Amino acid sequence: GQQLNQSPQSMFIQEGEDVSMNCTSSSIFNTWLWYKQDPGEGPVLLIALYKAGELTSNGRLTAQFGITRKDSFLNISASIPSDVGIYFCANAGGTSYGKLTFGQGTILTVHP
Amino acid sequence: DAGITQSPRHKVTETGTPVTLRCHQTENHRYMYWYRQDPGHGLRLIHYSYGVKDTDKGEVSDGYSVSRSKTEDFLLTLESATSSQTSVYFCAISAGKYSNQPQHFGDGTRLSIL
């Protein structure tokens, strides 16, 4: 089946720093989704991208749908302690019934 | 809050015993999904449902069965639990099957099989 390669696996940063993570695949997709998971909770949708080249922001978060349609990037500016968590990319790959495939996740730790 | 309740939130059981996890939604959404989350694997789809009594297998369905007799409830059963099924299980719901109708997740069930 399709696989999403997410990197980096983990990041340790100081509060105020910017963060970048990405997700790549060997397949072409029509949608990229970015989720965040706080400890002890389920993933929450941050940003959804529907068009190649699309750049979408949600507060300090910005995500881009790669023009090759095989990758996506998530940037967090001026990180704060509550940004701590696991970030996942995901997509449905155009399959039926909305089944999602997830990347392995990026664990973000922010030091005050 | 997307109106999803998973029960139990935590369970410890022994190898070989049957286990049933419940997902209950108050959104009247048609689509429901069960995922498991393991370190280094992200979330992987176990089974999904596209309507009452309509279910199908996902990526890692071996050893699991599901049932959906009502719109609001989606049950995941481990007929004979094994240690490899120790994991965190998440239920998700969606109003539609298209990617512009994103899934919303419950808070998970942490299952330990000894």
Lowest mean pLDDT across A103-112, B8-17, B46-55, B97-106: B97-106
Q: Taking CB atoms and an 8 Å cutoff, what residues of chain B touch A92?
A: 99
Listed ranges B10-19, B34-43, B95-104; the one with the highest mean pLDDT: B10-19
CB proximity list for B41: less than 8 A, separation 6 or greater? A104
- Chain B residue numbers with beta carbons less than 8 Å from the beta carbon of A103 are 42
- What pLDDT does B45 receive? 93
Q: What are A66's strand-pairing partners? A: none
CB proximity A91 to B under 8 Å: yes
| Residue for token pair 């049933």 | B20
The pLDDT-based confidence of B1 (bands split at 50, 70, 90) is low
A76-108: per-residue pLDDT in tens? Answer: 999 999 999 999 999 876 555 677 889 999 999
B104–chain A Cβ distance below 8 A for any pair: yes
CB proximity list for B53: less than 8 A, separation 6 or greater: B68, B69
Q: Looking at residue A96, what is its pLDDT?
A: 59
DSSP string, chain A: ----EEE-SEEEEETT--EEEEEE-SS--S-EEEEEE-TTS--EEEEEE-STT-EEEETTEEEEE-TTSSEEEEEE-S--GGG-EEEEEEE-TT-GGG--EE---EEEEEE-
Give the tens place of pLDDT for each residue, A13-37. 999 999 999 999 988 888 899 999 9
Whole-number pLDDT of residue B27? 92
Closest CA to A32 of A55, A16, A1: A55
Cβ-based contacts of A90 with chain B (< 8 Å): 43
Read off the tokens for A56. Answer: 């979408």
Q: What is the pLDDT of residue B19?
A: 97
C-alpha B16/C-alpha A111 separation (Å) is 43
Would you say how long chain A is, in residues? Answer: 112
| A75 C-beta neighbours (distance < 10 Å), count | 16
- The reply to whether A98 touches chain B by the CB within 8 Å rule is yes
Placement of tokens 């108050």 in the chain: B26
Q: Is the pLDDT of residue A3 over 70?
A: yes
For an interface test with A, which of B21, B99, B104 has the most A Cβ atoms less than 10 Å from its Cβ?
B99
Burial class (CB within 10 angstroms; exposed 0-12, middle 13-18, buried 19+) of A100? buried
